[in-house]
Amino acid sequence: MRSRYAAYVLRLEDYLLATWAPETRPKSLDLATSPPPKWLGLEIKQYRQTGPDSGTVEFVARYRVAGRAHRLHETSRFVRRDQRWFYVDGDIAD
């Protein structure tokens, strides 16, 4: 989770796509938004192993766009394949 957050901060689309499970991975990401978000921090609320090769991570990522503060609160699902973790999808909290 932390490496994916860092990849969003640095706009590393190739890394984000490479760590996304193929069955849910988009063809591309639109990271070139204008104005770009200024990422302010990541807080891991909880993580849980849901099976031998699956887990969830609940997090809050804070960012600013055009001077306005925002929060992304999500519970993400991950699977492990060949000793690597891949993002599957997530549920965004209100």
The pLDDT, as a whole number, for residue 36 is: 87
Residue 30: predicted pLDDT: 85
Per-residue pLDDT of the chain (94 residues; tens, 9 = 90+): 899 999 999 999 999 999 999 999 999 998 887 788 999 999 999 999 999 999 999 999 999 999 999 999 999 999 999 999 999 999 999 7
CA neighbor of 23 nearest in space, from 90, 93, 87, 70: 87
Place of tokens 């999808």: 89
pTM as predicted: 0.91
Domain 2-92 has CATH 3.40.50.2300: no
Which pLDDT score, from 0 to 100, does residue 32 have?
Answer: 82
